[in-house]
Amino acid sequence: MNNIHKIDEIHDLLQKKIEEKSNNYHNISKLWLYYLKKQTLMYKNTMMNINAFLENIHTMENDLTRENLILIYLLLNNNINN
């Protein structure tokens, strides 16, 4: 996936910028590096999940109803899984 490569490029650029500031701002830099790593991994996982879904969508018999979509949205956005 070409998008993953672009994300890696941006991640590397930001990581380098943060590391350049780490001598003067060690704690803030450490925090941002951790946050950047975590958010990048989450975004990559999301893109991989979307891609896997789209590659297998043909196996679904019917489209989802509006009610099912709302239920999925609520389940995924209310921290029920955490």
Q: pLDDT for 17-54, tens place per residue? A: 999 999 999 999 999 999 999 999 998 898 888 899 89
Helix and strand numbers (H, E) in the chain are: 3, 0
Determine, yes or no, domain membership for 81.
no
Tell me what pLDDT residue 36 has: 94
Q: Given a cut of 80, is residue 10 above it in pLDDT?
A: yes
Determine, yes or no, domain membership for 48.
yes
Determine, yes or no, domain membership for 51.
yes
Tell me what pLDDT residue 77 has: 80
Tell me what pLDDT residue 5 has: 85
Q: Determine the structural domain holding residue 42 and report its residue range.
A: 2-76
What's the pTM value of the predicted model, to 2 decimals? Answer: 0.67
The domain tally of the chain equals: 1
The larger pLDDT score, comparing residue 20 to residue 81, is at 20
**Dihedral sign of CA atoms 34, 36, 37, 38 in order:** positive
Average pLDDT over residues 48-73: 89
CA angle 38, 56, 11 (to 5 degrees): 20
Determine, yes or no, domain membership for 20.
yes
Instruction: Determine contact, residues 33/15, Cβ cutoff 8 Å.
Output: yes
Determine, yes or no, domain membership for 55.
yes
Determine, yes or no, domain membership for 30.
yes
